[in-house]
Structure 1
Amino acid sequence: MLAASSSLCLIAASGPAPAEPLGIGDRLFPHLGNPGYDVMAYDLAFTYSGNNSEPLPAVTTIDARATDWLKQVNLDYSHGTVRSVEVNGVPAEFRGAGEDLVVTLAKRLAPGSRMRITVGHDSDPTPGKDVKSGWVRTEDGLAMANQIDAAHRVFPGNDHPSDKAIFTIRVTAPNGYTAVANGLPLGAVRRARATTWAYRTEHPMATELTQVSIGRSFVVHRGGPAGLPVRDVVPSKDRKKLEPWLKKTPGQIAWMERKIGRYPFETYGLLIAEARTGFELETQTLSLFERELFTRPEFSKWYVESIMVHELAHQWFGNSVTPRTWSDLWLSEGHATWYEALYAEETADEPLETRMREAYGASDTWRTAGGPPAAPKAPEPGRKMSIFRPNLYGGSALVLYALRQEIGRPAFERLERTWVRIHRDGTATTADFERLASAVAERDLSAFFKAWLHGKKTPPMPGHPDWRSVAPAEKGAKHAPQSSTPQIESRR
């Protein structure tokens, strides 16, 4: 049977069981993720031809545990050709339904049963009609940007941050190219014409944080705090030009560790790509940056460094402690923006209070446009990235500033360190943060959080009764006050 659905081309035998797309009911993206199983590990294998417009032959192996009785398994996958599926070594029937790949099992699996699903497929780096690939085509190869829902356009899986897993990634590329992925290298096998590179994460990871870089790149190695391996991936021709920026990373890691504790992963570094993405992205252990962030003269030194810290802070907030739903994303972006601003204050004399006061002035406008920080409005039709609105960044950092004002700096700093410690390698919700904050502060903060995280209007700022927020409907208020911070598109 040849079937096509949502840019997914399937080659499979027909079968009687109906196929329909499922989801776990995320408020913002209800069709992402799938019920009935928990993924423990992914093994991804890609073969790159040297042409970044050609599909990559790929094999994805998923080790999972059933959490319910299963006769069918839905995987998130679209935008590629599927050639074969096996479950525990036995060929399985499969078909497409929406953006799902529906696999029919040979026999019903009971809760607790293990299953290994192996999918032979192509991974297409070219965008389709109204669909983008999770691959980013660079000047000399490919990189990945899978947030929010693009990972399942690269490989099949359970594409929701609530289901984290260990990843092994193998890339075969022609000699002359270098492949780097999340985690630490397992080794490289060199042949006459191609090399296979292998990497594995030591900590679980959400699908949206997967990173693979293939290019004519140079990998720069250096030591970080306590011997942490720091590796950066840069275009070979730019190695010397970018070194003044790259060498700042160990000091930035040390700064973050003084604030919230030990770096949570096995390695870190920057992937600097010659591509126009419109954002920087905190892919786990290897953050993606546009080359021009470091080369455009209008960006001041302090600003570039603060953006580097923003993506670094995400390794704790968003990657190690992952929002359980997309409505909890303020926990990730708010904290990354907070430490970005705090770093600018402490290292470049850019006052945090000034930035927070400007954010407060714009807060009502932001809430009207995008909803409260913990209850963001749904994305605009056909624009899933539109949930990344100003209130997710400045407005969410403002909540943290208000919390520090409310409970005091010592309690706030204890809360931050405790949060990343007790939820390390896991997922967490807004309610989890509220409960922990109340426990650390030794008083009920539910009213505070209800107003600041869920209210349509910005509450009064503790300690600053004179601060005012200008709502768009207020007389004479055509525009909300704007931040003096320079902008380079969006950091995520």
Structure 2
Amino acid sequence: MPSTTTARPFRRLLGITRSPRPPRVRRGLLRATVFGAASAALVAAALPPPAPVPLGIGDPLFPYLGNPGYDVVAYDIALNYRGSNTEPLDAVTVLDTRITQRLERLNLDFTHGTVRSVEVNGVPADFAGVEEDLVVQPVRPLDRGSRARITVRHTSDPTGPRNAGGWVRTGDGLAMANQADAGHRVFPSNDHPADKAYFTFRITVPDGLTAVANGVRKRTTDNGDTTTSVYRTRHPMATELAQVSIGKSAVPTRVGPRGLPLRDVVPLADLETLEPWLRKTPAQLEWLESRVGRYPFETYGVLIADANTGFELETQTLSLFERSLFTAGYPEWYVDSIMVHELAHQWFGDSVTPRAWSDLWLNEGHATWYESLYADELGGYTLERRMREAYRRSDQWRADGGPPAAPRPPEPGRKISLFRPIVYDGGALVLYALRQTIGTDAFDRVERAWVREYRDGTAGSTDFARLASRIAGRDLGPFFQGWLYGEQTPPMPGHPDWTSTPPQTGTRTAPEAVRPTEPGTVPRSGPVVRGENGPWSAVKPG
């Protein structure tokens, strides 16, 4: 049965049966807290022991991400953009929560902004910042089974290191790139993919600018010299998939399969140049629906940003792309396949979301799989050739970053290093081996059942193995044990001649340092990352 965070306690999703009760905080905590590197020092000076402490849900890769004791049901985020992408936005974030254990204080993930006030159920609450947590002390404890509405008035700062995530400053405004753990650099949240919620965005911008967010637009209000646009999702979403675009944008619309409304967001000056690419989306949707079933959301579109991010990102219903992907002269089949990669994520990663970050291969492996199939059909590169090359490199990838379902933690200060080749082409290689083992018909049934049974929910590697075993009619535990957790790549069924090059010890390579010359080695970041030499060296294989 699919597990959805709106149906069962968040902590239970990760197998957490009990969390330590947060220590008491006396009244009079620090107000107007500035969140950032100095937070811990400010709190230490202002609070007597026992001081607030950062909490987490024990994710193997991000142990302090997320918070125990509650589920977020819905976010309502109001952002006021004054026209400069180097100045903080004024913001109000409202979290409607379900309390799953008695709490005397409650932690939110938040950093890189100033908190001006916090209310719990309309009553002012004390608060303090500790590392990247906002610790809230309500007037009264929150009882298990109760609801709590938490209102945080704060700023949201778009400046900071380019690779830190959160806001992306574009040539004419802002966009978001919150994967993997940067949503809380934009708004207070329970910033872990296991706690999905519904979102409403209320974005106010000066005249001449356009704001677009996840979901569908509910209304637009002309305030005189500003405009407020309200967007709402119809399906729950992980914080890392939130998207807000602000800029001098065109928003062309079209119709997809069965009348699905499509809308794109592109720089106004580039609309004519980019339109040939935008017209491809309906056919790409039809292609994916023919393989995995109906598109899972209320709308879709591509957001093309005038920014040098080095990646693409599958933000829910509105995938983020760099402008240069479409204008730098890459082969058409390659660009098409990357568009399909991000579109496939709407099923794999967005609708079915990983329960823990170690399940990332389920997102990226599937997106890479359908990207590869599409490129094969376009004549760009055959699936088998790509998988053989991935197999050749697989042992080195495992040595560098761990096996697909047990990846090593990201390097300190480089969270994007989590997105290594082993979860992309290495994950797709697991799917290829599964198809070789159970046959194409059974494999196709597994794929359709996966996105149908876990739609709008969270799931992990064990769930996928159990589902595949059920559909195949046999125990696939030993298969998944070797392919997902083994230090060495198992033999490829049906290809006894395939070999994996023994890894070179002591040569662990960061993904972006790889300069691939073959597909199967493209380092990406949920974000599809392109090396400086372009896609697979930007050379169309012969």
Shift of 1:214: 0.2
- What is the correspondence of 1:46-85 to structure 2 with a 5 Å cutoff? 46-85=79-118
Residue in structure 2 matched with residue 105 of structure 1 by the alignment: 138
Shift of 1:175: 0.6
Residue in structure 2 matched with residue 35 of structure 1 by the alignment: 68
Residue in structure 1 matched with residue 215 of structure 2 by the alignment: 183
Residue in structure 1 matched with residue 536 of structure 2 by the alignment: none
1:146 lines up with 2:165 in the alignment: no
Structure with the higher strand share, 1 or 2: 1
CA distance in 1, matches of 2:470, 2:71: 31
CA distance in 1, matches of 2:483, 2:402: 11
- What is the correspondence of 1:407-426 to structure 2 with a 5 Å cutoff? 407-426=438-457
CA distance in 2, matches of 1:159, 1:349: 38
Alignment partner for residue 406 of structure 2, among 371, 375, 382? 375
Alignment partner for residue 483 of structure 1, among 515, 518, 522? 518
1:25 lines up with 2:58 in the alignment: yes
Residue in structure 2 matched with residue 459 of structure 1 by the alignment: 490
Deviations 1:309-330 (A, max 9, x none): 0000000000000000000000
- Matched residue SS, 1:103: strand
AA partner of residue 466 (structure 1): D
Residue in structure 2 matched with residue 6 of structure 1 by the alignment: 36
Residue in structure 1 matched with residue 415 of structure 2 by the alignment: 384
AA partner of residue 474 (structure 2): R
- Matched residue SS, 2:465: helix
Shift of 1:491: 5.0
- Matched residue SS, 2:471: helix
Q: CA RMSD in A?
A: 2.2
- Matched residue SS, 1:405: helix
Give the gaps of 5 or more residues in structure 1: none
Shift of 1:132: 2.6
- What is the correspondence of 1:241-280 to structure 2 with a 5 Å cutoff? 241-280=273-312
- What is the correspondence of 1:8-407 to structure 2 with a 5 Å cutoff? 18-127=51-160, 132-297=164-329, 299-348=330-379, 350-407=381-438
Taking structure 2 as the reference length, what is the TM-score of the superposition?
Answer: 0.87
CA distance in 1, matches of 2:449, 2:282: 23
CA distance in 1, matches of 2:192, 2:222: 35
Shift of 1:471: 1.6
CA distance in 2, matches of 1:274, 1:63: 34
CA distance in 2, matches of 1:486, 1:133: 24
CA distance in 2, matches of 1:184, 1:277: 26
- Tell me: CA distance 1:15–1:118, structure 2 relative to 1, closer, same or farther (3 Å): farther
AA partner of residue 456 (structure 1): E
AA partner of residue 408 (structure 1): G
1:442 lines up with 2:473 in the alignment: yes
Deviations 1:155-181 (A, max 9, x none): 001000000000000100001000000
Deviations 1:51-96 (A, max 9, x none): 0000000000000010000110000001100000000000000001
CA distance in 2, matches of 1:158, 1:222: 35
AA partner of residue 109 (structure 1): L
Shift of 1:98: 1.2
AA partner of residue 319 (structure 1): D
AA partner of residue 112 (structure 2): H
CA contact (8 A) 2:241 2:315 kept: yes
CA contact (8 A) 1:174 1:195 kept: yes
AA partner of residue 419 (structure 2): F
Shift of 1:347: 2.6
CA distance in 1, matches of 2:144, 2:522: 49
- Matched residue SS, 1:329: helix
Shift of 1:266: 0.2
Shift of 1:483: 2.0
Single out whichever of 282-291 and 338-347 deviates more from structure 2: 338-347
CA contact (8 A) 2:424 2:524 kept: no
CA contact (8 A) 2:387 2:520 kept: no
Shift of 1:191: 1.9
Residue in structure 1 matched with residue 17 of structure 2 by the alignment: none
Taking structure 1 as the reference length, what is the TM-score of the superposition?
Answer: 0.95
Alignment partner for residue 461 of structure 2, among 415, 424, 430? 430
- Matched residue SS, 2:104: strand
- Matched residue SS, 2:370: helix
Single out whichever of 270-279 and 2-11 deviates more from structure 2: 2-11
CA contact (8 A) 1:55 1:124 kept: yes
AA partner of residue 169 (structure 2): R
Number of residue-to-residue matches in the alignment: 487
Shift of 1:487: 5.5
Shift of 1:473: 3.6
Shift of 1:434: 0.4
Shift of 1:350: 2.4
AA partner of residue 483 (structure 1): E
